[in-house]
Every structure is written in C-alpha cells, then in structure tokens.
C-alpha cells in the first residue's frame, strides 16, 4: 500500500508515525493513532517476525490500518533508511530494553539531527535511566505487574499474588504512551522542538493504584489480597446467582435506602438513619477475611447473598437495575455478542483479514468521535506487505530495494 492509496479520515490524518515497537504496548499506541487516520509504518525486524503474529485474529485488530515493512534497523544500511524516514515522521515509537537504541548509535540526539521536531516515545519494562541493573532487565507484562506491586493486590489471602489478564500492563502502558505522545506533538508543532518520552511499564501500573498506593506509601498499609471482596462494602461484589454471577456495587444514599427497604430492614435500628452505607469495619491490611462483620454489615450481606442465590442473573440484573443499584452480569463472550447494548453500539464489527482471507469479528474503535470518526481500512497486514511501496516513496529504486533484500537489510515475506 502506498501513502496515496490511504483514504483521509479522522483527527490524526496529518500525523506520520514510525512504529519500531513489537508485541503489544508500543504497537498499541500506533494502532490507536492509525485508527484515527495517522499514516503509520511498522518497521518489522528481519531477525524474526513480530511475536504478536502468533495470536492470529488479534494481529488483524492490533495492527489494523498500519503499513508493514521489514528493516534491520541496527545495520549500517538500516540506520540510513531509518534516518531518511525520521525526516518524514512526526513520531517514532520504539520498544526495547533500556539503552538498546543508544548501543546502536541511535540516540535521541542523533534522531533530532535528522528531524529536530521529532517526538520519540521509548517504551520499556524498567525505563531508559535509573539503576543500571534494572535498566538492562528484560520485561513482559507479568514482570511489570510484579515489580509495580500491582499483582500483590490481586488474588486471595492464602494464595500467591495474581497477575491480571489479559496483558493489563502492556495495554495500560500503551494508553499512557499514547496521551503523552500527542501532548508532545502539540508542543512540537507550536515550537518546532521535539521531545523524548520515557514510558515504562511498571510505572504505568504504579500510577493506576490510586488510594491503595497512597495509603501504602504514606501510612504503611499493605492491603491483603482479597479476591473479589469489596474493599469497604458489605457485599461480595461477584454475587452468586441461580445460573451464574452478577457484579453488584452498592453505593449512593438512594440505592442503599431502596435495598435496605427491599430486604426488610427499614425498621431495624442497625440501619438507621436509612440510606447510610452498610459498610464493613475491617481495615485494609487486616490479617483475615474470617474476622466477623459488624451486625449491620453481616445482616445486609446475608440477605443479599441469600436473595441473589435464589434468582437468575437476568432477574438480579433487571430488579436491581430498576432500583438504581449498580449491577452487571459477568459477561461471557457469547453473552457479549448477543447483548442488545453491545449490538446497538456496534462494539464488534466484521472485517476482512488479508492473512487468513476470511471475514473476522473485531472490536470496534473506541472511544467514538462524532465529527471525525475513525475508520478501519485494513486489518493487520502480511509480513513484508508494503516494503516495496514504502521504500519507493522514500526514493529507493527497484534495483536498490532488491539489493537490500539480498544483503538482509530487508526480508521478504513467505
């Protein structure tokens, strides 16, 4: 695909991006940009295809709208091609262990010599600076969750820490990197001065921990792993029903009052004044979930559990929903496909996948833009799909491109 073949759409149609990342976090940044019309070129390694290709249909989603070329970046010819492309680009996104690009001789300063307004996003597990032993460490999603303390908040008291699925750290790091990159692009277009962003996975997950983190670092409170239990509320959260589970989040004076009345506690002294929350008194960091609940919380919990177990998921969702109580079934993928709200919002769309040559379902683009919506032009492309087209745009002749294939700077697809 040539640049001229790309339709114009979205809010980022004048953004030019080089995707030198792999697997999830960095490419996710670029895919979000491509959905909004950015011209994104992925530079796929000649050593081996991107590992994320093994995930099949997910590749078609998480690389959609991007153009694919192969390139051996650290080779002399590869660096020359990269610097030519950097002159064209607004953004370069890369993912590697800290110090990798510096070792290749591709420091930020070298890249800025080619394009002073370039925004460079470095995504890594532990960052590009800090304790040298950590900077050089390899990382994947579960490593970031462990080092950030995130996994130590998940699981059950007597079980090991639990890594949340799927790829929470990778995708959250990508979201952090995406907003930071666009902030830097705005500034670069105002001043002509580029920026380098050090976005590391464990810090993105540290940032997500809110009040739990604040209590921990200020007051020494390390919360125990509590599984699905609510931190402060007198409910399990995941409520067992006759035919499945509903998630119930009890909060707000109005819904609490209605539930208290619904369960027959309107005249119970423990629930006065009506509308006050039937909270637990166990503090984060308590040793066991077996500690007894206070009378009010215990009564409420027993009534809620008993009622839910006698009703279906549909009944709990409908009846509690009518009261204004926050509730949702724990959805399966089949339920999601058949749900009227999913269907009305077109959360899933059918797209042609050029790799399998079949129509596959994909999650639609989110969030939605009213005036300049995104568009799915193509799914994730085949290995080496656009190398010839892209390098011709950068002035390389057919003979020069063939020679680069022979030298291993480029690599042909199957």
The residue with tokens 């656009």 is 386
What's residue 317's pLDDT? 92
User: SS3 string of the chain?
Assistant: CCHHHCCCCCCCCCCEEEEECCCCHHHHHHHHHHHCCCEEEEEECCCCCCHHHHHCHHHHHHCCCCEEEECCCCCHHHHHHHHHHHHHCCEEEEECCCCHHHHCCCCHHHHHHHCCCCEEEEEECCCCCCCHHHHCCCCCHHHHHHHCCCHHHCCCCCCCCCCCCCCHHHHHHHHHHHHHHHHHHHHHHHHCCCEEEEEEHHHHHHHCCHHHHHHHHHHCCCCCCCCCCCCCCCCCCEEEECCEEEEEECCCHHHHHHHHHHCCCCCCHHHCCCCCCCCCCCCCCCCCCCCCCCHHHHHHHHHHHHHHHCCCHHHHHHHHHHHCCEEEECCCHHHHHHCHHHHHCCCEEEEEECCCCEEEEEECCCCCCCCCCCCCCCCCCCCCCCHHHHHHHCCCCHHHHHHHHHHCCCCCCC
What's residue 289's pLDDT? 47
pTM of the model: 0.86
* Chain centroid offset of residue 216 CA: 25
Which of the residues are catalytic?
Answer: 170
Beta-bridge mates of residue 122: 94, 198
Reference 300, options 232, 241, 226; nearest CA is 232
Q: Strand 16-20 vs strand 91-95: parallel, antiparallel, or unpaired?
A: parallel
Reference 350, options 60, 6, 21; nearest CA is 60
Distances (CA, A) of 120 to 46, 91, 196: 22, 6, 5
Taking the C-alpha atoms of residue 325 and residue 344, their distance in angstroms, rounded to an integer, is 23
Taking the C-alpha atoms of residue 363 and residue 392, their distance in angstroms, rounded to an integer, is 33
What's residue 310's pLDDT? 97
What's residue 206's pLDDT? 92
Taking the C-alpha atoms of residue 34 and residue 66, their distance in angstroms, rounded to an integer, is 6
Domains in the chain: ranges and CATH:
1-217+342-405 (3.40.50.10540), 236-329 (3.30.1540.10)
Size (the chain), residues: 414
The residue with tokens 């177990």 is 309
How many C-beta atoms surround the C-beta of residue 363 within 10 A?
12
Taking the C-alpha atoms of residue 141 and residue 122, their distance in angstroms, rounded to an integer, is 16
- pLDDT tens, the chain, 414 aa long: 899 999 999 999 999 999 999 999 999 999 999 999 999 999 999 999 999 999 889 999 999 999 999 999 999 999 999 999 999 999 999 999 988 999 999 999 999 999 999 999 999 999 999 998 899 888 999 999 999 989 988 888 888 888 888 999 999 999 999 999 999 999 999 999 999 999 999 999 999 988 888 888 888 888 887 675 654 455 667 899 999 999 888 877 888 889 989 999 988 888 887 766 565 444 444 444 455 556 778 888 899 999 999 999 999 999 999 998 888 898 888 988 999 988 999 999 999 999 999 999 999 998 888 999 999 999 999 999 999 999 999 999 999 999 999 999 999 997
What's residue 171's pLDDT? 95
What's residue 287's pLDDT? 44
Distances (CA, A) of 189 to 15, 109, 175, 182: 11, 19, 22, 11
């Amino acid at each position: 695909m040539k640049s001229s073949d790309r339709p114009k759409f979205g809010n980022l149609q004048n953004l030019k991006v080089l995707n030198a990342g792999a697997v999830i976090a960095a490419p996710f940044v670029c895919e979000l940009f491509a959905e909004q019309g950015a011209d994104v070129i992925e530079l796929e390694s000649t050593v081996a295809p991107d590992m994320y290709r093994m995930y099949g249909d997910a590749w078609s989603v998480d690389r959609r709208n991007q153009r694919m070329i192969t390139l051996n970046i650290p080779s002399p010819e590869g660096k020359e091609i990269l610097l030519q492309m950097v002159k064209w680009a607004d953004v370069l996104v890369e993912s590697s262990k800290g110090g990798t690009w510096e070792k290749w001789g591709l420091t930020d300063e070298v890249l800025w010599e080619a394009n002073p307004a370039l925004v460079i996003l470095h995504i890594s597990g532990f960052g590009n600076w800090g304790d040298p032993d950590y900077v050089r460490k390899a990382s994947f999603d579960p490593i970031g969750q462990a080092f950030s303390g995130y996994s130590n908040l998940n699981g059950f008291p007597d079980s090991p820490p639990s890594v949340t699925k799927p790829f929470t750290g990778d995708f959250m790091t990508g979201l952090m990197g995406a907003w930071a990159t666009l902030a830097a692009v705005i500034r670069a277009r105002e001043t002509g001065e580029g920026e380098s962003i050090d976005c590391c996975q464990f810090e993105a997950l540290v940032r997500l921990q809110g009040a739990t983190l604040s209590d921990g670092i200020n007051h020494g409170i390390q919360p125990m792993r509590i599984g699905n239990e609510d931190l402060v509320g007198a409910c399990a959260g995941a409520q067992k029903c006759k035919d499945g589970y509903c998630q119930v989040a009890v909060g707000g004076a109005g819904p609490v009052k209605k539930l208290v009345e619904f369960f027959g506690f309107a005249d119970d002294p423990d629930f006065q004044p009506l509308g006050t929350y039937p909270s637990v008194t166990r503090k984060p960091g308590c040793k066991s979930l077996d500690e007894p609940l206070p009378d009010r919380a215990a009564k409420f919990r027993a009534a809620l559990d008993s009622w839910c177990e006698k009703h279906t998921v549909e009944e709990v969702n409908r009846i509690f929903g009518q009261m204004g109580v926050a509730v949702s079934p724990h959805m399966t993928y089949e339920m999601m496909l058949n749900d009227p709200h999913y269907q009305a919002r077109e959360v899933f769309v059918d797209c042609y996948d050029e790799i399998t040559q079949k129509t596959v379902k994909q999650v639609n683009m989110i969030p939605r833009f009213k005036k300049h919506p995104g568009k799915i032009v193509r799914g994730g492309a085949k290995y080496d799909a656009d190398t010839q087209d892209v390098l011709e745009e950068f002035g390389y002749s057919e003979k020069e491109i063939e020679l680069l294939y022979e030298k291993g700077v480029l690599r042909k697809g199957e």
